[in-house]
Amino acid sequence: MEKNLEWFEDIFPGIDGLRKEVTEYYPRESKAVDIFKGQQEEPTLTLEESTERLRNQIERAGLQDRLLTEDNTPESAVGGRTIPAPPATTATTALPENLGPQEQTDTLPKTQRLDHSVTGDDPQGSGQRANEESSVKETTKPKLTRKKWYSEPVQQRSKTRSGRIIRTVQRWAGAAISGKVNLDWEPQSFDEAMHRPDSLEWSKAIENELNAHKINKSFSLVELPEKATALASEWVFKVKRSKTENGELQNKYKARLVIRGDLQPGTDLETYAPVAKLATFRLFITTVAVKDLELHQMDVKAAFLFATVKEEVYMSIPKGYDQRIPQRIRQPGLRINKALYGLRQSPRAWNSDIDDTLKELGYSASQNDGSLYFHRKDSSLILLYVDDLLIAAKTVKDISKIKEKLKAKYEMTDLNEAKTFLGVSIERDRVKHTVKLHQQLAIDALLARYEMSDCNPVKTPLRTNLSAEEGTPLTGTAIVWYQQLIGQFMYLMVCTRPDLAFTVGRLAKYNASPKEGHAEAAKRVLRYLKGSKDLGIQLGGNPVELQGFSDSDWAGDEDDRESTGGHIWFYAGGPIVWKSKKQTIVADGTWHAEYIAASEATKDLVWSKRLATDLGLRSSVIPPLYIDNSAAEQLIANPKHHNRTKHVDVRYHMVRDLYNRKELSVKRVASEDNPADILTKPLPKIKHWKHLTAIQIR
């Protein structure tokens, strides 16, 4: 126990925090805190001495076999030297062969576990150890196998509290030895944030969050009523990355105190709150480009805290809470006054508050997206995404007036001209009336997270013959890793990368039971992103109004022979809405699959036209939909019913109805020139990049 605490102290500076951890994570050994008494400050060590000391402490803690070098040998480089691997055999208690490393650790006696070890330096335990060693058999250490590239690189969480802190220590010790500290991983708990190399930044973020609560009177210190339940609280940490005007990378550390609303009783709460659709964001930016409007951004500080909670809710005292608790309060707790993050009703309470404020300022909410607000008199626009606002107006003076009115009600951060929104970088060319949206920073962070920053790029995101049977099934954390990676691809796709739509849909199909071949396919997407990370969609710069393309790949899925349909709509030359969707029925011919795809495309057409009207974009022509199948075109234009078409479901005839009401026109396009083809199947390199240019990815 004492040796482990010495090791903790070397890795985690700050004796006060360590004393607290010892008591919390090792309650039975809380008396061990006495080892800190009378400790004197040590002289400052050189880098070489510090490295040597760290190496020795890790050896004594028995962790050198868990810190692997790149060649997967159980040793780590330290200043040109290595930590020697443990001997091939060691005296241990015989364990069942079918147990994993963690299960084997759990079966050991307390005296042999990592957190209760008796080391060879302890003279009091030497005699007992000699007797124990004579009574145990020699067993070979489990062979260290090569770690799969898709295994979770860090962030493996133990089921026990002591296990979590030991894992935290292990990975930061490994980072200290190798010299590679990856701060792209946000801390997962208050304790981890306080013990990282960047703990000072997190301390400031926590202090800012608590000060905001004090100023806003978000909660009050009270004695809990007799039958009241205090909900638990947690800290959530996030690093927001952006570029300054000089092009330098800037990190903003944010800490949020959240309440465990998932433990909140009651199911009759109103919880719905809208957020802006990403298609709305793209059409909003298109409007800014076409009309050459000024575009600024604002952020509401601690937005939820401006809304009031009507229900009676209590929270336990969070870590880091520095207010003195009077002795008269026997059961302290916090009475929630404002819409604290995590409460089920908080998002709706905040959205109702900001909605009322904007309507008082003369704005109307769009019926097609409740997060889009337009002013009929001065033609200004506001797009709301939770607590982030994009403000567009004809002049900077008009925007300044709007900002002053909002600052009178809320505490806000003025970000001036919009450069980044929802992780999407905004680059304007006001001469050409275009805006480029890209996610290069997000892609760089993604590649770094999965250690693929130096990978070899490829030209296409997916090979052509991916199927359900792709080798050995993944297990454990590898499945979680795969699912998380697909989710990250999906966010890139829905924001700025329509070229990933089919690939993401196909890989997501195997989320429940991915295999090694699917993991390799996901790795290929990372390699594709490596070579195309600077690409994004270009909006505006073209007088052409709304136009769309649809396509399908009939029976293209070899697993079930269902078709994949895709469509994309453009306004002013830039992509606004796109979709790659597997059809829910088996089409009996190419015409049938194309007809279904065209009908799906019309749904987005109707919505886009209405939203464009709210934004002041008037359409002077009937929007054309381009398809590459003559039979489907004839079925839309000529409502015939015969043996080959009588089975088509009525819901797919929406495209015919819009055509008859002259809200849509249908035109032919050659198959090789249909850019929607990129949404329905994996394409060879030349064709892929041809369509990439056609859908305005630059």
- What's the CATH code of the domain at 580? 3.30.420.10
H helix or E strand, kind and range, residue 627: strand 624-627
639 in a structural domain: yes
Residues 333 and 223 both lie in one domain: yes
Q: Report the amino acid identity of residue 327.
A: Q
**Whole-angstrom distance, CA of residue 295 vs CA of residue 395:** 9
Residues 475 and 394 both lie in one domain: no
Place of tokens 């057409």: 605
84 in a structural domain: yes
Q: Which domain holds residue 665?
A: 542-694
664 in a structural domain: yes
Tokens of 527: 């390699």
Across the 698 residues of the chain, what is the mean pLDDT of every consecutive 10-residue run? Answer: 42 42 40 35 53 60 44 38 39 39 40 37 43 44 45 44 49 46 74 88 92 88 90 92 77 91 81 95 97 97 89 91 81 92 93 96 96 95 97 97 96 95 96 97 95 96 89 93 96 98 96 94 97 97 92 88 95 97 91 95 96 90 96 87 78 92 95 97 96 95
**Whole-angstrom distance, CA of residue 392 vs CA of residue 284:** 9
Residues 13 and 95 both lie in one domain: yes
Cβ atoms 192, 225 nearer than 8 A: no
Residues 274 and 375 both lie in one domain: yes
Q: In the chain, how long is the greatest CA-to-CA distance?
A: 96
Contacts 24+ apart (CB under 8 A), 653-656: 653/599, 654/599, 654/602, 654/603, 655/595, 655/598, 655/599, 655/601, 655/602, 655/625
Residues 237 and 304 both lie in one domain: yes
Residues 241 and 375 both lie in one domain: yes
177 in a structural domain: no
Q: Which of 601, 545, 604, 615 is nearest to 573 (CA)?
A: 545
The strand pairing partners of 315, in sequence order, are 231, 334
Cβ atoms 533, 553 nearer than 8 A: no
In this prediction, residue 92 carries a pLDDT of 38
Residues 377 and 487 both lie in one domain: no
Residue where a domain terminates, one of 504, 536, 568: 536
H helix or E strand, kind and range, residue 417: strand 412-417
Other Cβ atoms less than 10 A from the Cβ of 467: the count is: 13
CA atoms within 13 A on the CB side of 332: 13
Residues 638 and 656 both lie in one domain: yes
**Whole-angstrom distance, CA of residue 615 vs CA of residue 283:** 8
Q: Which of 561, 562, 544, 687 is nearest to 626 (CA)?
A: 544
432 in a structural domain: no
Cβ atoms 463, 682 nearer than 8 A: yes
Return the percent helix, strand and coil in the chain, to nearest 5. Answer: 40, 20, 40
CA distances from 244 to 235, 273, 410, 417 (A): 28, 32, 25, 12
247 in a structural domain: yes
242 in a structural domain: yes
Place of tokens 């229900």: 311
Residue where a domain terminates, one of 422, 448, 464: 422
Residues 477 and 593 both lie in one domain: no
**Whole-angstrom distance, CA of residue 80 vs CA of residue 437:** 45
Which strands form 536-540's sheet, in the order they lie side by side? Answer: 420-421, 424-429, 434-438, 536-540
Residues 503 and 369 both lie in one domain: no
**Whole-angstrom distance, CA of residue 586 vs CA of residue 506:** 17
* Dihedral sign computed on CA atoms, order 19, 20, 22, 26: positive
Cβ atoms 667, 624 nearer than 8 A: yes
In this prediction, residue 6 carries a pLDDT of 46
CA distances from 175 to 131, 172, 369 (A): 37, 5, 46
* Dihedral sign computed on CA atoms, order 203, 208, 214, 218: negative
Number of domains observed in the structure of the chain:
4
Residues 546 and 524 both lie in one domain: no
Place of tokens 């609280």: 233
**Whole-angstrom distance, CA of residue 177 vs CA of residue 512:** 37
352 in a structural domain: yes
**Whole-angstrom distance, CA of residue 342 vs CA of residue 68:** 39
In this prediction, residue 219 carries a pLDDT of 92
**Whole-angstrom distance, CA of residue 578 vs CA of residue 677:** 12
Residues 499 and 634 both lie in one domain: no
In this prediction, residue 646 carries a pLDDT of 80
- Which residues in 94-232 belong to E strands, given as ranges? 138-140, 219-223, 230-231
**Whole-angstrom distance, CA of residue 118 vs CA of residue 111:** 6
